[in-house]
Amino acid sequence: MILKDKVVLVTGSGAGIGEAIAIAMAEAGAQVVSADIDGAAAQKTADAAAAFQAKTLALEIDVGNVAEIDAMVGRTVDELGRLDIIVNNAGVTRRAYIMDLTEEDWDRIHRVNAKGVFFCLQRAARTMIEQGEGRIINIASIAGRGYAGTSNAAYAASKGAVIALTKTASQQLGPHNINVNAICPGVTRTPLSDRNLAVRAEEQDVSLEEALKNHLKPIPIGRANQAEDIAAMAVFLASPGARNITGQAYNVDGGLVLS
């Protein structure tokens, strides 16, 4: 129970990595706010977290809308008393070649992955500054490190922005006792990644199984992440053991990218 009574807000927690993080935080003793653009999915995750005797709150939220971010943070503090940890996980992408990306793709991806992360971070930090402490965990990607197998260039750019934001925010928020770190997942089996895998299979004119095998081949450890692998790192970065870690971006990728 290393996070006993801490209040954790996880965006994009309706499925995949965000869902796993929310449940792992509850298992570690935290009170959990599950926020997702799909309100029913957010509630489903909150109900799963509540099985660990955690206080929970489910919110329907579009992180591309700053007014909704303000309302999300406000309700968290009003109903649970404080905000100790935020995990900025909400993200979108699609599989596309660089020359096929549109202005609509760019705006949609950056609205959520870059703008959303920044304003969630900023609004959470306002509360954490008043409290005198806090933890901010941004979910980036090895795409932001230059991983050649990224879903698309706009997505890679948005995740590079998250890594850069993490470093700058850690410097400026450190004096307020706020730690800011990022996690860079590699190949991870989620509903979103499975949709992208289906596109890869079509591009390669192979079965889903063969496309997955090709996708995993470059990974030294030989397997994809499960969402729980990312959740374990998030719990560590939220824990007392990580109190002196800030400004870092950790790859969780089986050795796929070594930078």
Reduce the DSSP state of residue 57 to 3 states and report it.
Answer: strand
Reduce the DSSP state of residue 207 to 3 states and report it.
Answer: coil
Q: Is 171 exposed, middle or buried (0-12, 13-18, 19+ CB in 10 A)?
A: exposed
| CA distances (Å), origin 160, targets 104, 124, 147, 163, 182 | 19, 21, 11, 5, 11
Q: Does residue 248 contact residue 174 with C-beta atoms inside 8 Å? A: no
Rounded distance between C-alpha atoms, residue 233 and residue 227, angstroms: 10
What is the helix (H) or strand (E) element at residue 224, kind and residue range?
A: none
The gap from C-alpha 211 to its chain's centroid, in whole angstroms, comes to 25
**Residue 140 DSSP one-character state:** -
Q: Does residue 189 contact residue 230 with C-beta atoms inside 8 Å? A: no
Residue 7 neighbours by CB distance under 10 Å? 23
Virtual torsion, Cα 93, 96, 101, 103, nearest 10 deg: -20
Active-site residue, 155 included: yes
Among residues 97, 147, 155, 250, which one is catalytic?
Answer: 155
What is the helix (H) or strand (E) element at residue 87, kind and residue range?
A: strand 85-88
Which residues are tagged catalytic?
Answer: 155
